[in-house]
Amino acid sequence: MISIIKRWLGLAGVLGAGVVQAAVTGQCPPLLDHTFDKLQDGKPMPLCQYSGNVLLVVNTASFCGFTSQYDGLEKLYAQLKERGLVVIGFPSNDFGAQEPGTEKEIADFCRLTYGVEFPMVGKTVVKGKQANAFYKRLGEITGSTPKWNFHKYLINRDGSQVIAFGSMTAPDDKELLAKIEQFLKP
């Protein structure tokens, strides 16, 4: 019994207590059962750690006409994170080769230019046959796949509802904000 407890405690140290709790109680929605490397340090970032939160998932790029949306995304995250909104950036070079940099360059650009503090995963593929499994699933659920950078998916707290918003939808868009508020209600 002691060895089992030690293994769980070791797992808690690696993954974080919230992830272990979700795994033990089965609270992680299947939609979030994916792990990515974190942009800033390459450490594993299980999406299950965000179970119970409203997620705004955005494929990002540093050299795009929509790149200024980073500012609005960070403001939205700062305003609503205490209520349970988590913005997650997915840097991708899929559209117009507008994210050519290394992960360090991307992380530095986001932090220094826009003060980004919301979680971001390492550079990934979000379109076509090579898209990561999470993005494939989001596309299947919504019937909408990214056509360009800064496409958004809004996921409710239990992962049972996903709504897609195109790149033209700014972070302060009234329809997006109304849906976020709806999903944030207890």
Asked if 44 and 35 touch (Cβ cutoff 8 Å), the reply is yes
**What's the rounded Cα separation, in Å, for the pair 147 and 153?**
13
Instruction: List the chain pLDDT tens, one digit each, 186 residues.
Output: 344 333 333 433 434 433 333 334 458 999 999 999 999 999 999 999 999 999 999 999 999 999 999 999 999 999 999 999 999 999 999 999 999 999 999 999 999 999 999 999 999 999 999 999 999 999 999 999 999 999 999 999 999 999 999 999 999 999 999 999 999 998
Active site residues: 64
Sign of the CA dihedral 87, 90, 133, 8? negative
Asked if 70 and 112 touch (Cβ cutoff 8 Å), the reply is no
pLDDT score at 125: 98
pLDDT score at 26: 58
**What's the rounded Cα separation, in Å, for the pair 179 and 175?**
6
For the chain, the domains span 28-184
Which helix (H) or strand (E) element contains residue 135?
Answer: helix 133-142
Number of neighbouring beta carbons within 10 Å of residue 148: 18
Residue that the structure tokens 């302060």 belong to: 172
pLDDT score at 27: 85
| 15 exposure class (CB count in 10 Å sphere: 0-12, 13-18, 19+) | middle
Considering the entire predicted model, what is its pTM? Answer: 0.86
pLDDT score at 135: 98
Instruction: Identify how many contiguous H helices and E strands the chain contains and give both numbers.
Output: 6, 6
The residues that bridge with 59 in the sheet, in sequence order, are 90
CATH fold, domain 28-184, is: Glutaredoxin (3.40.30)
> What 3-state DSSP class applies to 60?
strand
Decide the pairing of beta strands 152-155 and 85-91.
Answer: unpaired
pLDDT score at 186: 82
